Chains A and B, each alone.
Chain A
Amino acid sequence: MRKSLFYGLLFTSPAIVGFIVFTLGPMIASLVLSFTDYSVFKDRTSFIGFDNYVRMFSGADDYFYPSLAATFYFVVLRVPAVIVLSFFIALLLNMNVKGRAFFRTVVYLPSIVPAVASAMIWMWLLNPDLGLINTLLNAVGLPGSLWLYGENSVVPAVVLTSLWGIGGTVIIFLAGLSGIPRQYYEAIDVDGGGWFSKLRHITIPLVSPTIFFNAIMTLIGSIQVFNEAYILTQGGPNNKSLFYVFYLWRTGFRDTEMGYASALAWVLFLVILFFTFLVFRTSKSWVYYEGEGR
């Protein structure tokens, strides 16, 4: 390979400039803004030190803790649901069933549907009075639910709608599963182990890097849930689905308190950093990498 600093920088400079202008710069600007009371309605902006952060954590903001709680509940429900369900579907698709390509398409197709359209479909399916889901539940003698309109059911309902789009995660699992050599399973056959010991001793350890990857991506994505809150619920009822990024958007753009919203954004950034770090730290104990690494 030829060496050339000039050409190296020439080819990568659009990306480097883009990083500085659209990522690094705004990040620093947002940190600075978070120490101000900047708002379109104010004539002058002044530095107010940590006041925004104090307002958040002291409880002076009636919405901060409810939005944390809603987001936390959503993440705790959604991440395990996505991982378990998509892993299960991938296991099924990895068996030598006929029509694998068809089933793969079926599972992936919903994940390409635009969020707004998907939200419309689910609002109609989950409509408490006339929707298909309550109708079916009633038909088999089960009580319906208020779904998106119930304080206790709104977060599970949003999780349910989001599970329709797990196709991408399934496909990644499938790729991980298909990389496991057949001989490993045959060894267990010889030893007389059943499917569970195959799953426990071969499949899960060998795809643990994929589980790890999917868990991190799902976690980061779930913490930033926005579209569903904006389109399906507007944060209601009674702030039970006031997801964090939706609240941030509302504070910054509807209420135009951009200084305070920037502080909210930085707390989000630190939270995501913390959880990512945590998952990375614990990964050493359960993620199995083959000798040569990846």
Chain B
Amino acid sequence: MRSSKLSLTFAYLMLALITVLFIGPFLWLIRSSLMDLSQIFTMPPEWIPRPVRWENFGRALTVLPFGTYFMNTFTITISVIIGTVVSSSIAAFGFSRIDWPGRNVVFAILMSAMMLPGAVTLIPSFLGWQALGFYDTFYPLIVPAYFGGGIFNIFLLRQFYLTIPRDFDEAAFVDGASYFQIYRSIIFPLSRSAIIVVSLFCFLATWNDFMGPLIYLKSENLFTLALGLQMFQGTYTAQWDLLMAASAAVVLPCVVVFLIGQKYFLEGITLTGLKG
């Protein structure tokens, strides 16, 4: 869109304001995490920590076993990503590269599950896992990923597969390839960027999940970072230096993953929005 000088000036002013509003809380987080408690509460607020209290991080991360929480979160997240990628890419193959009677009906039925609020299945799922003896284990958080990996991801990958020319499959058939070989050596490698998008979203959703761990995990040595941080808040109310240091430590991995995979994140959201 062509824009006049006046409207451009307005746009820059608004964008500057938006930047302050969106980045401000991060600065407040970092600033508070590096201050001692007396400087945190000074009025008017100061922005530069003096002295810089790096030891806040050390204290925050040792009063609770954050190392264990980190490893738990990491284990769950990696297991879910692997399950999601394998299982949704195979299902998407079956819904786009193989022709079978009833395919579109089955796909539409699965799609309808996207509208279903998670709360409806919450209680029976919980009772089921409990009856099987898997309450207070990672299984309820991981196993579902291996069965379809979420209809949304299947949908996304299917959309992507549909853009790959059919001639590739036909040529491979002529050479005597099986469906599984076509999936493994043609379709999966060609959809690398879509697979990365799915993995990144899956990472964020699992890493940040709060309700799942809250419901299925009871023992503190199985807690995830999100649960641990929440418990930390209950114990250290008003210790804003430690709370902010712990929060910063939980936020950091997400920011790093985002900045590395930024391009894919933005592409991925665009893809989902356009096809909606």
A interface residues (Cβ-Cβ under 8 A, vs B): 1-5, 7-12, 14-19, 21-23, 25-27, 29-30, 33, 89, 92-97, 103-110, 112-117, 120-125, 130, 132, 135, 139, 164, 168, 171-176, 179, 182, 185-186, 189, 195, 198, 209-210, 213-214, 217, 220, 223-224, 226-227, 230-231, 245, 248-249, 252-253, 258, 261-262, 265-266, 268-269, 272-273, 276, 294
B123–A116 touching, CB < 8 Å: no
Select the stretch in B49-57, B191-199, B210-218 that faces chain A.
Answer: B210-218
The 6 A-B pairs at the shortest CB distance, nearest first, are namely A18-B147, A11-B94, A8-B100, A172-B273, A15-B148, A29-B124
Which B residues between 184 and 207 are near A, CB-CB below 8 angstroms? 204, 207
Q: Is B119 an interface residue (CB 8 A)?
A: yes
How far apart are the CA atoms of A11 and B272 in the complex, in Å?
23
B87–A14 touching, CB < 8 Å: yes
Q: Is B139 an interface residue (CB 8 A)?
A: no
If the complex has contacts A1-B166, A8-B100, A11-B93, are A122 and B25 also in contact, measured as CB distance less than 8 A?
Answer: yes
Instruction: For B124, list chain A residues within 8 Å (CB).
Output: 25-27, 29-30, 33, 262
Instruction: For A269, list chain B residues within 8 Å (CB).
Output: 116-117, 119-120
Across the interface, A26 reaches (CB within 8 A) one of B121, B147, B208, B240, namely B121
How far apart are the CA atoms of A92 and B9 in the complex, in Å?
11
Instruction: For A135, list chain B residues within 8 Å (CB).
Output: 43-45
What's the minimum C-beta distance from A195 to chain B, rounded to whole angstroms? Answer: 7
How far apart are the CA atoms of A132 and B144 in the complex, in Å?
42
A124–B243 touching, CB < 8 Å: yes
A227–B251 touching, CB < 8 Å: no
B121–A171 touching, CB < 8 Å: no
Fill in one digit per residue for B250-276: 1 if any A CB lies within 8 Å of its CB, else 0: 110011011000100110011011111
Dominant secondary structure of chain A at its interface with chain B: helix
B41–A273 touching, CB < 8 Å: no
Across the interface, A168 reaches (CB within 8 A) one of B91, B154, B244, B269, namely B269
B117–A268 touching, CB < 8 Å: yes
If the complex has contacts A171-B273, A185-B2, are A16 and B98 also in contact, measured as CB distance less than 8 A?
Answer: no
If the complex has contacts A18-B144, A115-B226, are A265 and B123 also in contact, measured as CB distance less than 8 A?
Answer: yes
Across the interface, A97 reaches (CB within 8 A) one of B8, B28, B123, B215, namely B8
Contact count A vs B, C-beta below 8 Å:
290
Instruction: For B122, list chain A residues within 8 Å (CB).
Output: 26, 248-249, 252, 265
How far apart are the CA atoms of A12 and B179 in the complex, in Å?
13
A171–B266 touching, CB < 8 Å: yes
Instruction: For B87, list chain A residues within 8 Å (CB).
Output: 14-15, 18
Instruction: For A120, list chain B residues within 8 Å (CB).
Output: 229, 233, 243-244, 246-247
Q: Is B115 an interface residue (CB 8 A)?
A: yes
B113–A19 touching, CB < 8 Å: yes
Across the interface, B115 reaches (CB within 8 A) one of A112, A186, A189, A276, namely A276
Fill in one digit per residue for B96-108: 1 if any A CB lies within 8 Å of its CB, else 0: 0111110100100
What's the minimum C-beta distance from B141 to chain A, rounded to whole angstroms? Answer: 12
Task: Jot down 26 A-B pairs with beta carbons below 8 A, ordered by A.
Answer: A1-B97, A4-B98, A4-B99, A7-B179, A8-B94, A9-B100, A19-B148, A21-B147, A92-B15, A106-B22, A106-B23, A107-B22, A108-B265, A114-B254, A116-B230, A117-B250, A120-B243, A124-B32, A172-B269, A172-B270, A189-B2, A213-B273, A214-B273, A220-B117, A231-B210, A294-B275
